[in-house]
Structure 1
Amino acid sequence: MTDDPRLQPYRVDVVGFEAALAELRSVRDEVFVGEQGVPITLEHDALDPLCTHVLARLLDGSPVGTARLTPDRKIGRMAVRAAWRGRGIGDALLRALLDEARRRGWPEVRLNSQASAIGFYARHAFRPEGKRFMEAGIEHLSMVLAFTGPTRIDSREAAIEAAIGIIERARRSVWIRSVALDPWLYDDAGVLQALRSFATRGGGQQVLGLLHDAAGPQQAHSPMLALAQRLPSIFLFRELQDPVDRNDPAAWIAGDGGGYYLRSLGERVQGEAEQDAPARVRQLAARFDDGWQRSRPVSEYRALGL
């Protein structure tokens, strides 16, 4: 185990409020009261004993993040200690609460996002609702996530947002099927940063790329190939060979965290996306694997060190 505690593995558990009270308060008081200046009388409310709480701990037991789910189907009190931000802990906390909401059969969940976190929740398919407002001296926006099926994607911006969310939610596997690593999507700095963070997280991550035209990204000097060259054990590419596969224009990115963005006409932006659709992702992964087994390794990439 590394000597730097910020690089230690962590786990997220549902915890009892009374049993974990000291740990929950230590994180929340540090973040909300200490950092953000929220009055402690507002931070400690009567809802706490009625909520479902999740707690992120390092393997040595140190608490580093927490969040809660209220009886009225709202997510709140999402807090990660400053030194451990940017490691996916917030994503893991949110996934745990969404899993709990789905287990209960709730049709939707809501939250009041601080203005600085709107992008984070948007990547998890939350949508804004109403106008911004002030709460505890901090600007907020109400957001909602309905467990009702896919979202229509009609713009490059929405596609990039969906792809980043899929990658950030993925645990060990990301599957990319594309004609030639569409530059409008896979050259985007945010998407590349999400792939870089995923690939260097540790834990056996893998990004598999299944292409119609392997020469295209190489000729275009795709930045994803440059990233893959530095991480050749993580990124693997194959080219479709079977006429049945090559005549299928569909393209997608999917991750084993339950998210996908599917385009039936692969060279177009228009498609559908979901961030919490594990059954659909399993279907896409099986379809991907069928094509992967019939495809050829891209040997010309190996000349680049891939």
Structure 2
Amino acid sequence: MSANPSGFSVEPIDYGTGLPELRSVRETVFVQEQNVPIAEEWDELDPQCLHVIARDPGGRPIGTGRLTPERKVGRMAVLREWRGKGVGDAMLAALIESARRRGWRELSLNSQVSASAFYIRHGFVPYGERFWEAGIEHQAMRRMLGGATAIEDREAAIAATVAVILGARRYLWIYSRELDPGLFDAAPVLEAWRRYGTSGHGGEARFLLQDAEAVQRAHAPLLGLAQRLPSLFQFREVDDPADRAYPSAFIANDTGGYYFRTLGHRFDGETDLDGAGRARQLVESFKPIWERSRPCPEFRALGI
């Protein structure tokens, strides 16, 4: 069992003996709130699944989730009055840890589109086309366990970037050609940068650019935020010809998360929120280039 400062706890629950508690949450959220037909809410997989339940300090069920034999996360539900208090995060963390203990290499899920940002924070990336299930639009998502997840398109690239930014404790290191139009100017990424910049945790995001002039000409949206928080966002432009020839791009944080692209002008690459060794390697390669690169004071006076 795990507990937290809000007083709720999360633990596994036996399906047979715990069915009334599971029903009290799932039918409240899915059937009553979201109008999912009750015949679609309960399926033949339920008795075969690993279920977790969250309880409030008085022992009342407030959240549920499950792992299916197909190695999928599902039926994540939290009662309305407990949303936004970390219950879903704690349940998902418990399910991921259970999958790791079973030696699973990958987890997938079908997220309601409205909840995809929650799963992105936990390292899941979207793949495939959106689809409708029980009258609700969904997005398939996946995450590798104990290894990197492949990034194949822009939507997955945005998800990976957001996860690395929001996963930072304090520090971020970014190597980019020209602030990656289509990625760093995407609305979810800009919102992640805003949250990082206003979190009050201090720290610093260091950007190494290959073409600072192109960034300035494009009036990259991130520069407006950087102007308001100049001590947090630092920019330098590589000078050395060997550094300018570096073909890759990446973002890495101080908690072991990274997203790396072999070719910096493309979105495809790999990401891992638990890749401490690889993240450390990227940061160590970044530091000497940063020291010999040119600061970009012109970004402070753009007047954007």
Is TM-score (shorter-chain normalized) higher than 0.5?
yes
Q: Deviations over 1:165-212 (max 9, x none)?
A: 433444444322112212232222232122223333443454221122
**Cα distance in 1, alignment partners of residues 187 and 216 from structure 2:** 18
> Do the aligned residues in 1 keep the contact of 2:206 with 2:235 (CA within 8 Å)?
yes
Alignment partner, residue 125 of structure 2: 125
Amino acid at match of 2:75: R
The alignment status of 1:261 with 2:263, answered yes or no, reads no
Cα 1:293–1:152 shift into 2, 3 Å: same
The yes-or-no answer on 1:203 pairing with 2:201 is yes
1:218-297 alignment, distance < 5 Å: 218-256=216-254, 259-266=257-264, 268-278=265-275, 279-297=277-295
Which deviations, in whole Å up to 9, do the C-alpha atoms of 1:123-157 show, x marking residues without a partner? 712545997543xx75667655454644253x444
TM-score normalised by structure 1 residue count: 0.68
Q: Give the Cα separation in 1 of the matches to 2:202 and 2:9.
A: 22
Amino acid at match of 1:230: R
Matches of 2:227 and 2:7, distance apart in 1: 31
Q: What SS class does the counterpart of residue 183 from structure 2 fall into?
A: helix
What SS does structure 1 have at the residue aligned with 2:125? coil
Counterparts of 2:203 and 2:179 in 1: how far apart (Å)?
20
Measured at CA, do residues 140 and 264 of structure 1 come closer, stay the same or move farther in structure 2, by a change above 3 Å? closer
What is the SS of the residue equivalent to 2:282?
A: helix
CA distance in 2, matches of 1:88, 1:182: 32
State which drifts further: 239-248 or 228-237: 239-248
Partner of 1:175 in structure 2? 173
What is the rounded CA distance, in whole Å, between the counterparts of 2:160 and 2:25 in structure 1? 30
Deviation, 1:226, is 0.2
Distance 1:220 1:35, change over 3 A: same
CA distances 1:59-98 after superposition (whole Å, capped 9, x unpaired): x999998453436333223235557867987567545533
Identify if the C-alpha distance between structure 1 residues 24 and 159 changes in structure 2 by more than 3 Å, giving closer, same or farther. same
Q: Does residue 1:53 correspond to 2:52, yes or no?
A: yes
**Number of residue pairs the alignment of both structures matches:** 289
1:114 is displaced (CA, Å) by 3.5
Write the letter of the residue equivalent to 2:173.
Answer: W
- C-alpha contact 2:208 2:237 (8 A) present in aligned 1: yes
1:163 aligns with 2:154: no
Q: Which amino acid aligns with 1:68?
A: G
Partners of 2:237 and 2:127 lie apart in 1 by 37
Give the structure 2 partner of residue 4 of structure 1.
none
Deviation, 1:304, is 5.7
Instruction: Give, in whole Å, the separation in 2 of the partners of 1:65 and 1:172.
Output: 32
* Structure 2 counterpart of 1:151: 150
Q: Which amino acid letter does the alignment assign opposite residue 124 of structure 1?
A: F
* Structure 1 position 108, deviation (Å): 2.2
Structure 1 position 13, deviation (Å): 6.8
**Other-structure match for 2:65:** 68
Q: Please tell me the residue identity of whatever aligns with 2:247.
A: P
Tell whether 2:53 aligns with 1:31.
Answer: no
Question: Could you tell me how far apart the structure 2 residues matched to 1:292 and 1:17 are?
Answer: 51
Instruction: Measure how far apart 1:303 and its partner are.
Output: 4.4
Number of the residue aligned with 2:11 = 15
Alpha carbons 2:126, 2:139 under 8 Å: kept: no
Secondary structure of residue in 2 paired with 1:78: strand
Segments of 5+ residues of structure 1 without an aligned counterpart are 1-8
Cα gap change, 1:24 to 1:259, in 2 (>3 Å): farther
Contact 1:176 1:253 survives alignment (8 Å)? yes
Equivalent position SS for 1:186: coil
Taking the aligned partners of 1:183 and 1:85, their CA distance within structure 2 comes to 34
Task: Give, in whole Å, the separation in 2 of the partners of 1:207 and 1:84.
Answer: 33
Identity of counterpart residues, as a percentage?
46
Cα deviation for residue 100 of structure 1 reads 4.0
Offset, 1:224: 0.6
Q: Structure 2: state its 5+ residue gaps.
A: none
Deviation at 1:272, TM superposition (A): 0.7
Shift of residue 301, structure 1, vs aligned partner = 3.2
